[in-house]
A and B are shown apart, each in its own frame.
Chain A
Amino acid sequence: MASGTQLPVDDGHALPPEGERRRDFLHVASASVAAVGAGAVVWPLVNQMNPSADVLALASIDLDLSAIQPGQAIKTSWRGKPVFARHLTPAEIEAANKVDVASLRDPQSLADRTKPGNAQWLITLGVCTHLGCVPLGAGQGESRGDFGGYFCPCHGSHYDTAGRIRKGPAPLNLNVPDYVFKTPTSVTIG
């Protein structure tokens, strides 16, 4: 403890001699270790803002499709956003398949947007790709727009029965989330 007081006599000016290279390595090493430590401390401070375990636990949901009749759709919520699950009628599937994919603004076929063997189940985010409004068309009696799919009332974007943008300002088709079929009538989204 007393080393702090073990001081000498007459060297008051005590300015560190310039250009003494020998001592540099140690100080660089000390500063480097301190910098690494500071970096290690910063990570938890940043990471604490990432989604917490309880939020992540709700990042995937199970959705039961069995109650949806052909022609109907349901709205549910996933990661705080609306999801539309729609049971397409054969006529709607045919209408979607008839369209020339190359002519579309965001060229995708119905098969690209559904799971193999489950073309009747169209599951998309209910978020207009224009400015993020929730399109109409999933609820009973709501307008489905000029193409029988969804219609966004904010700026008049029309989506077809495959949820593809056909008219209006939206640049892209309605987003299809990642999902897998657990049983023929239930899916896990996310």
Chain B
Amino acid sequence: MVRLGALAVGLFFCIAVLWGAVQPRDAVPVDPVKEAHQYPEKITWSHNGPGNLGILGTFDRGQLQRGFQVYKEVCSACHGISLVAFRDLSALGYNEAEIKAIAAEYEVPSIDENGEPSTRKATAADKFPPRYANEVAARAAQNGANPPDLSLMTKARPDGTNYVRSLLLGYRDEVPASLKASAPEGLWYNPWFHSVFIAMPPPIAADGQVTYTDGSPQTKDQYAEDVAAFLTWTAEPKLEARKETGVAAVLFLLVMTGFGFLSYRRVWADIKGKKAKA
């Protein structure tokens, strides 16, 4: 009985699904967006460690500070990093007084002595205030676009660190012929963006746009690389602790497993030993 029922149910599902399989497929036109879309260019990062494998590696503090400078002078015009607290900046090598000074450049919501909403200077304990109070305000100010918060950007996109760098350097004037007709008004062509047309105007426009004080090259390439490294830190501030702990944990577990293997062999010796003699 069970098997007869099974046969019936099996035939039911098989026929139903194969009926779909034999339907003719509509010819899928080549999607010009897919054709034009580019995957991030992979480059070497100090936080990826030897061989760029991602197993070891530490952040380059100087690069993070430069990246923070690029963020502050360029990106922060439209994008927040609202999950990052000013106190976190100590990981970039800033001391307490410097952090206090940076925080004081920002205003955060508060309540004045009359209970009315007002603002006060941020302290080290505060987080970076969001650039816009809400999405509606952002879209109103940005021509309908909503600049995303950048705190987690490098984790929120595939191959995020390389993606941010490629995107920033990816603006092209030459729109492919296949896309010319559908190019939306007011958007910029950037094949590294998922839809290849992005609302963000090229943020890094020219060499020398940001003045570095540590003698690093002031090129668009350098700016993009530095800010991508900085955003990798904002997305994963515990990256270094994670890798250090990981090395210790894996080495320890290998030792434990080794002992476990020897114990296992020893326990089974009286049973397996006879096989060896045989």
Contact = CB atoms under 8 A, between A and B. Distances in A.
A102 interface: no
B256 to A, nearest CB: 5
B85 A57 contact: yes
Contacts of B123: 62
Given A26-B259, A33-B256, A33-B259, A6 B266 contact: no
Contacts of A19: none
A37 B275 CA distance: 34
A8 B85 contact: no
A64 B214 CA distance: 37
Contacts of B275: 6-8
B259 A37 contact: no
Contact of B272 (A8, A36, A53, A57): A8
Interface in B230-278: 252-253, 255-256, 259-260, 262-263, 266-267, 269-275, 278
Contacts of B267: 16, 23, 27
Given A8-B275, A8-B278, A57-B124, A30 B263 contact: yes
Contacts of A29: 259, 263
A37 B263 contact: no
A9 to B, nearest CB: 7
B266 A23 contact: yes
Q: Which of B253, B259, B267, B274: most chain A Cβ within 10 A?
A: B259
A17 interface: yes
A40 interface: yes
Nearest to B256: A33
A99 interface: no
Looking at chain B's contact residues, is the secondary structure mostly helix, strand, loop, or mixed? helix
Contacts of B87: 53, 57
A58 interface: yes
B4 to A, nearest CB: 39
A151 B270 CA distance: 81
Contacts of A7: 271-272, 275
Given A8-B278, A53-B87, A54-B85, A14 B252 contact: no
Contacts of B205: none
Nearest to A12: B271
Contact of B274 (A8, A34, A36): A8
A14 B256 contact: no
Contact of A6 (B255, B256, B272): B272
Contacts of A27: 263, 266-267
A33 B272 contact: no
Contacts of B125: 54, 57-58
A65 B168 CA distance: 49
A26 B262 contact: yes
Nearest to B253: A37
Interface in A39-54: 40, 53-54
Interface in B49-102: 85, 87
Nearest to B273: A8
B253 to A, nearest CB: 7
A53 B259 CA distance: 38
Chain B CB within 10 Å, residue with most, of A17, A26, A34: A26
Contacts of A100: none
Given A37-B253, A57-B125, A11 B270 contact: yes
A62 to B, nearest CB: 8
A14 B262 CA distance: 19
Contact of B270 (A17, A30, A40): A17
A4 to B, nearest CB: 9
B278 to A, nearest CB: 7
Contacts of A33: 252, 255-256, 259
B266 A26 contact: yes
A122 to B, nearest CB: 23
6 contacts: A8-B271, A14-B271, A17-B270, A23-B269, A26-B266, A36-B252
Q: Which 9 A-B pairs have the closest CB atoms?
A: A57-B125, A8-B274, A30-B259, A30-B263, A33-B256, A8-B275, A23-B266, A57-B87, A26-B263
Given A8-B271, A27-B267, 17 more contacts: A3-B272, A7-B272, A8-B272, A11-B270, A26-B266, A29-B263, A30-B262, A33-B255, A37-B252, A37-B256, A40-B252, A53-B85, A54-B85, A54-B125, A57-B87, A57-B124, A62-B123
